[in-house]
Amino acid sequence: MRVLVIGANGKVGKHIVSKLKETGHEPVAMVRDTDQVPFFEEQGAATVLGNLENEIDQAFYNIDAVIFAAGSGPDTGADKTILIDQEGAIKAVEKAKQFGVQRFVMLSSMAADRPESAPTGIRHYLFAKHRADEHLKQAGLNYTIVRPGALTNDEGTGRVTLKEHVNNFGEISREDVAATIVRLLTVPGAEQKSYDLVSGDQAIEDIR
């Protein structure tokens, strides 16, 4: 499957590209500038230049599925968060529809399904994620939404807790998030589903 990874140069995005290669897919890494291209070329991954703040049509040619893993980052203000995490994601969903891409996996955030309950400091971020997620649900695509807990740079364990709702806000490594997203990409039972994701006991390879 030829998979466009939006946000490929991010910490999770790099893992996603790597996991796609490992599992026999053909990743296309969307990057903002040419300085980011060599990293992916060394892995044998295709790249396409694209900026969510501008036109991105060129990224969607000959694409079978989209993984949206872009984010404005924790240190940006509300304006940038809305621009990337909300409007950028909505734009990507609409482009997928326009170009006939049916499969779309969204990297969201735990509590994005209940943003009003979040502390004031991160509420704008979760509302942006929430609006993007809700737009995807109504878009008519075969979607999956993944809402991980607190992200770490630990080595992946290959084991997670993946449920519609997880009561306790836990942690999970970025590598395990990436592996789970790539797994869900081709699990038919994951379509039209939203999941919370934290570290746990279920082997990622056993997700059905």
What is the CATH classification number for the domain harbouring 117?
3.40.50.720
Residues of the chain with pLDDT under 50: none
Task: Work out the number of other CB atoms within 10 angstroms of the CB of residue 177.
Answer: 26
Cα separation, 29 vs 8, in Å, equals 5
User: Which ranges constitute the DSSP H helices of the chain?
Assistant: 11-22, 37-41, 78-81, 89-98, 120-137, 174-185
For residues 71 and 126, the answer to whether their CB atoms sit within 8 Å is no
Number of structural domains the chain divides into: 1
* Domain of 106, in residue numbers: 2-206
Q: Which two tokens stand for residue 76?
A: 């940006």
What pLDDT shows up at residue 70?
96
- Say what the pLDDT of residue 9 is: 96
Q: Where are the beta strands (DSSP E) in the chain?
A: 2-6, 26-31, 46-49, 65-68, 103-107, 142-148, 150-152, 159-163, 171-173, 193-199, 202-203
- Residue 143 is among the residues annotated as catalytic for this protein: no
Taking the alpha carbons of 164, 182, 143, 37 in that order, is the dihedral positive or negative? positive
Which residue in the list 61, 125, 143, 195 is annotated as catalytic? 125
Model pLDDT for residues 129-143, shown as the tens digit of each residue: 999 999 999 999 999
Residue 142, pLDDT score: 97
Give residue 119's pLDDT: 72
- Cα–Cα distance between 118 and 98 in angstroms, integer? 34
What is the separation of C-alpha 83 from the centre of its chain, rounded to a whole number of angstroms?
A: 16
Please give the pLDDT value at position 168.
82
pLDDT of residue 3: 98
